[in-house]
A = this chain, B = another copy of it.
Amino acid sequence: MPRVVTIRTVAERAGCSIATVSRVINGSARTSAEVEARVRAAIEELGFRPSEIGRSLKTLRARTLGVVIPSLTNPVFAASVAGMEAEARRRHHTLLLTATDYDAAREPEVVETLVAQSVAGLVLTVTDADDNPTLDRLDAEGIAYVLIYNEPRRTERAAVSVDNAGATFALAKAMIAAGHRRVIYVAGRFATSDRARTRYLGYLAAMSEAGLAAEAPLELDYLADPAGHGAALAGVFGPPGRPTAALCSNDLLALSVMAALRALGLKVPQDVSVAGFDGIALAGAAYPSLATVDTPTRRMGERAVEKIFELLDGSAAPTLERLPFELRPGGTLAPAPDASPVASARRPDAASPSFPASPEPPSE
């Protein structure tokens, strides 16, 4: 079905040239009120919508933004994409959405696809933001992009993130303050998430500062059947002297870990305290509510899109930008069993331990 009504149809109907029609549509130059009225009427009557394709071919830039995320199934990414969509729409752009399923090998191809569509810019979360040929290629070609959730060490890369290590440091300190001595860090596969690795560093710093022995991290694959988690967790939480707290690299994982611990007959938080990272909406609806790091997920998506446009119009250089986070108390984090809290005041409400008022970053 060929396009029935084009700018030419409108021009004929309005009795003018296509250039004039274009001017009316884009307000790119003044036109007489009379002609403009005729053109608008023609557009209305014909139900004409200018083709974005035609415009893009001329402009060499589509009014679209490419988005690359690991998975929509994780509410963190769903929320940030929702923010991107709202902000993009505000600027008359549409999102081209792709997912890599946490597979680094898929990154180059989806970016190729997006670039072939002549997107105005890209927002992406990659498995590794520092050692990444795909990003190198974007740099080389001068294509605007903003990372989200990644926290590149190469700070000349534009990114919107949080202080992953600092937040985890603060969260681990809160666990330690609650009397936990054996705290284990549970992560999705490190290989597919530099966030998980960076957060682990925060955990290490907190344990070290408290003079506690860090445990080897437990890597789970949270794409696999959650049943698989049970076996792995049984190995760690089965033997005596088990950890009394599990610090998880993200909320989705934490909720899965909670279910697995319960299946093992362990009570949360009486036997094991649990905490997550991200602050997804459903963490608050869980019971007990999940202690976590609240990150501005939706706002990060909006901010990433704003940043793309700043890069495009040259009003800002690419920088790493960390948005504020907040520790969110939750019933899953309670004082350690048979352990009197070290110093500090007594905690009247075991279900809601108070966190330090402001996050404390690790000393660097």
Contact = CB atoms under 8 A, between A and B. Distances in A.
Interface in A258-306: 258-259, 262, 281-282, 284-287
B94 A95 contact: no
A60 interface: yes
Contacts of A98: 85, 89, 94-95
Interface string A46-70: 0001111110110010101001000
Contact of A53 (B56, B81, B99): B56
A67 B94 CA distance: 11
A287 B287 contact: yes
A82 interface: yes
Given A94-B98, A97-B94, A52 B117 contact: yes
A96 interface: yes
A90 interface: no
Contact of A287 (B1, B67, B258): B258
Contacts of A78: 72-73, 75, 78
A281 B73 contact: yes
Q: State the number of copies, please.
A: 2
Interface stretch (A107-115, A145-153, A240-248, A340-348): A107-115
Contacts of A57: 53-54, 57
A73 B62 contact: no
A79 interface: yes
B96 A64 contact: yes
A285 B67 CA distance: 29
Nearest to A74: B78
A107 B344 CA distance: 56
Contact of A118 (B51, B73, B114, B226): B51
Contacts of A79: 72-73
Nearest to A3: B60
A227 to B, nearest CB: 11
A26 to B, nearest CB: 14
Contacts of A282: 75, 255, 282
Most chain B CB inside 10 Å of its own CB: which residue of A60, A71, A116, A226? A116
A117 to B, nearest CB: 5
Q: Lowest 8 A-B CB distances belong to which pairs?
A: A78-B78, A255-B285, A72-B82, A97-B97, A72-B78, A49-B116, A52-B117, A53-B56
Given A52-B116, A85-B98, A85-B99, 7 more contacts: A49-B115, A50-B116, A72-B81, A86-B99, A89-B98, A259-B284, A282-B282
Interface of A: 1-3, 49-54, 56-57, 60, 62, 64, 67, 71-73, 75, 78-79, 81-82, 85-86, 89, 94-99, 110, 112-118, 142, 226, 255-256, 258-259, 262, 281-282, 284-287
